[in-house]
Structure 1
Amino acid sequence: MPEKAHTITPNDASLKTHQFLLAPTMDVVLILAIAAVLIVLLFDYTNGFHDAANIVATVIASRAMTPVQAVVIVGFFEFLGPLLGGTAVANTIGNFITLGDLKATVSLTIILCGLVGAIVWNLLTWWRGIPSSSSHALVGGLAGVVAVAVGADHVAWGFEELLLHGHFTGVTKVLLALVLSPLIGFWVGFFLHRLMLFLLRGASHTINRSLRRVQFLTAAGLAFSHGANDAQKSMGILTLVLLLGGFIHEFVVPFWVMLACATAITLGIMSGGWRIVRTLGFAIYKVRPLHALDSQLTSAGLIFAASLVGAPVSTTHVVATSIMGIGASERPKAVRWAKAKEISITWLITIPGAAIVAIACYFIVQLTMNSIG
């Protein structure tokens, strides 16, 4: 299949860099496409690995499940999420960068660099035990490298659509979802916990047994909603890779892509990022059965609702802020706001941090190609 015409002329400094990438050989496109597919699935795996703690932290902290029980139940429903949760989020993520007017070799290389930025940032924050956002990392890595490599006009910012038509599209939609979801998570958790305290005001301590049992359902719901939202981000990028490589003719997510992304994120979940369990389960607020149940209800409901409207949200943000809201509604002084501040700073620097890593990767590719040329 012939490649799409390249309409952007590289400047003199990067001409040598692009000569290899612009070579019209299907072998290069195929190699880059295979590499991109593997990197996307690796990102999906690290996403699950990184976000495992977000789902199981409150379950384990409240002693509703053992780690083994949590991993088995969460892994099963995590796998179902991408298969049954639709493709609305995939469509949003797959269309916030526009690379269709570039040669397949150029566009695939740019996507590879963006994914590397997101993966490296995920691993760095996991190593530090800080619950950062895989969604922020993905958006930052891709938007940053696209803007630097071929121009900001190749990022669908969505500002014009919002001002002229009132429609949320592109990066505007993505960022709005990522910014509003933690705020909504905080206040939903706050008021839900107040409501639950009122409803259970006359209950004895034995109610904790029932609350722990109910968490088998709420944790399953959270895992399903996480899979339905987070795996779709990888599904969107993987479908974009196939489209840019000329392997499909329209942006429709193939079933094998759903299956591959569901498998990768589930394997990541079952591997578990246990360093972050301590942060979410103990370092923000001391989680007991009712706190865990309320956090899971808040997070599952919000994330699944976002999936239905195609809004990519951060499970990390929603779970962490729901715990903050629950703690603030009960004993504000007991919330470890210093840890909350540390997490918030990480949230703020994730997008530019992942962008910097992705851009650095792109410049390394440039230097390599220059040395070859």
Structure 2
Amino acid sequence: MARSDDEIRHLDTLDRDLGRMSNIELASAYVSRPLVGPGISFLFIVFAGLIALLFFGQTSHTLVVVIAAAFGAYMALNIGANDVANNMGPAVGANALTMGGAILIAAIFESAGALIAGGDVVKTIAKGIIDPTSMGTAEVFIWAMMAALLSSALWVNLATWVGAPVSTTHSVVGGVMGAGIASAGFAAVSWGTMGAIAMSWVISPVLGGLVAAGFLWFIKSNIIYRDDKIAAARRWVPVLVGIMAGVFATYLALKGLKQLIKIDLATAIIIGAVTGIAVWLLMIPVIRRQSRGLENRNKSLKVLFGIPLVVSAALLSFAHGANDVANAVGPLAAIVQATSVGDFTHAVQIPFWVMLIGAFGISFGLFLFGPKLIRVVGSQITKLNPMRAYCVALSAAITVIVASWLGLPVSSTHIAVGAVFGVGFFREWDAERRLRRARTAVPDRPALSVEERRRRKLVRRSHFMTIIAAWIITVPAAALLSAVIFKVISAVAS
């Protein structure tokens, strides 16, 4: 049946209107997408406040604890968004894990580490940075801890936004120091402790980079540059996986399980050695079976490092959850203790409900905002493959163990990112060395132009400078922000 001109015009108008509605829906979905993460985060922060209200009960200090719980939840979200990238970035960058798989594994193991082994006893005022008696009253102490929580969370949030992985431990240290100076003056600060922390800015990344570069040199010399790569891999990959297993057994015994059982360094090393030997012997037939039929090229070697890399990422996340959850909830636990019993001069035991806020906050932060920093660490600083990522993961664990043995304060963030830089700069040095050899062998070969040499740099200098700058200013920036927030809170409360 033929349609009239009016019907045709009406249908054309309807099509255009439907098209406009479809465009509006697409536009609204596009606009609202960036608000999903902050919206869910806000609901979690509100939920944390309600949890505090439920467990703490109705007292004259309830409102203070509820606000502190909200600040602690906000800090936990930022730790998940920033800090966890150090554990998962290398595995994702090496394509051993998808982004979704990395987030799932990290969320499970971070939460398990926090809840199973994370009930650390937090030393009063963040590891002796400030003399608690200098603050005078519990009320001043509470305002200082609230300022430290909020300032460190804001700083980590800003660092995540600009794409810089920073130390959340240093952020909390800076926040506590700033609030302590604002409340009790410069004399209240333990400058010896602050000096040791400043030393770790240099020690952590340099040590992490050197260890990672050393292992990459070993892998290149003994496997990658060999004529028969598969035969070399059958010999050395079981040894390397055994070393990784032994190191991680030692690392978990020292750091990840310290709340379940107290283990000294010597015992942890014995546990690691036994574990490493057992895994080495177990991996010999496994690697021999995996390597059957593989072509004699570098790409084939990646298969052999995939599973160890995934396991290392999971173990790093467990240890991180056990250790760094205290950064989110340590000041909150101190506030709870000060408000409930009035004591702020002794060590603080973290209540289980406070641990829940920290554990789930880290997982939510990772899920909602973690991919950005995971990409930065995993692929945007330098290109990683499973062998290079293995070196980064192993370096992170070894450096923490060595630092514990030497009694040096180090940052897991600085170690992991320093290891990534170490791998990248070693690759640049190695490529330049091989180029010089080739030029010596063929003297008539034309030299590369300055532009071409710059293009062949394997570490992105812009990321390097951004991250180093963020590391340097983390403590002073968090301290300044905390001092301002403390003054504002004090003025409002008084």
- TM-score (norm: length of structure 2): 0.61
User: Larger % of helix: which?
Assistant: 2
Match of residue 322, structure 1, among 419, 422, 430:
419
Which residue of structure 2 aligns with residue 17 of structure 1?
A: none
In the alignment of these two chains, the number of paired residues is 334
- C-alpha spacing 1:178/1:234, structure 2 compared with 1 (3 Å): farther
Which residue of structure 2 aligns with residue 251 of structure 1?
A: 347
Matched residues in 2 for 1:353 and 1:198: separation? 43
Matched residues in 2 for 1:94 and 1:318: separation? 20
Match of residue 39, structure 1, among 47, 65, 71:
71
Match of residue 236, structure 1, among 330, 343, 350:
330
Which residue of structure 2 aligns with residue 270 of structure 1?
A: 367
Which residue of structure 2 aligns with residue 48 of structure 1?
A: 80
Which residue of structure 2 aligns with residue 126 of structure 1?
A: 160
SS at match of 2:163: coil
- C-alpha spacing 1:197/1:229, structure 2 compared with 1 (3 Å): farther
How far has the Cα of 1:218 moved from its partner? 1.1
- C-alpha spacing 1:175/1:41, structure 2 compared with 1 (3 Å): farther
- C-alpha spacing 1:238/1:303, structure 2 compared with 1 (3 Å): farther
Residue 382 (structure 2) pairs with residue 285 (structure 1): yes
- C-alpha spacing 1:260/1:341, structure 2 compared with 1 (3 Å): same
Matched residues in 1 for 2:419 and 2:480: separation? 30
How far has the Cα of 1:353 moved from its partner? 1.3
How far has the Cα of 1:211 moved from its partner? 1.4
Which residue of structure 1 aligns with residue 181 of structure 2?
A: 147
How far has the Cα of 1:54 moved from its partner? 2.1
Which residue of structure 1 aligns with residue 111 of structure 2?
A: 79
- C-alpha spacing 1:111/1:252, structure 2 compared with 1 (3 Å): closer
How far has the Cα of 1:270 moved from its partner? 2.9
Taking the TM superposition and a 5 Å limit, the aligned residue runs for 1:139-178 are 139-157=173-191, 159=192, 170-178=193-201
- C-alpha spacing 1:248/1:223, structure 2 compared with 1 (3 Å): farther
- C-alpha spacing 1:135/1:58, structure 2 compared with 1 (3 Å): same
Matched residues in 2 for 1:135 and 1:174: separation? 10
Q: Deviations over 1:166-189 (max 9, x none)?
A: xxxx43444444542222111111
Larger mean CA deviation between 327-336 and 314-323 belongs to: 327-336
Amino acid of the structure 1 residue aligned with 2:219: M
Match of residue 115, structure 1, among 115, 126, 149:
149
Matched residues in 2 for 1:172 and 1:87: separation? 27
SS at match of 1:132: coil
How far has the Cα of 1:103 moved from its partner? 2.2
Could you list the runs of 5+ residues in structure 2 that have no partner in the other structure? 1-57, 230-296, 430-456
How far has the Cα of 1:295 moved from its partner? 0.8
Q: CA RMSD in A?
A: 2.9
Q: Is the CA contact 1:33–1:242 (under 8 Å) kept in the aligned structure 2?
A: yes
Q: Deviations over 1:94-114 (max 9, x none)?
A: 432233453222211121112
Q: Deviations over 1:249-295 (max 9, x none)?
A: 65242451444423322332233422223322223211112111111
- C-alpha spacing 1:86/1:134, structure 2 compared with 1 (3 Å): closer
Q: Is the CA contact 1:181–1:318 (under 8 Å) kept in the aligned structure 2?
A: yes
Could you list the runs of 5+ residues in structure 1 that have no partner in the other structure? 1-25, 160-169
- C-alpha spacing 1:154/1:110, structure 2 compared with 1 (3 Å): same
Which residue of structure 2 aligns with residue 344 of structure 1?
A: 468
Matched residues in 2 for 1:367 and 1:139: separation? 23
Matched residues in 2 for 1:359 and 1:28: separation? 26
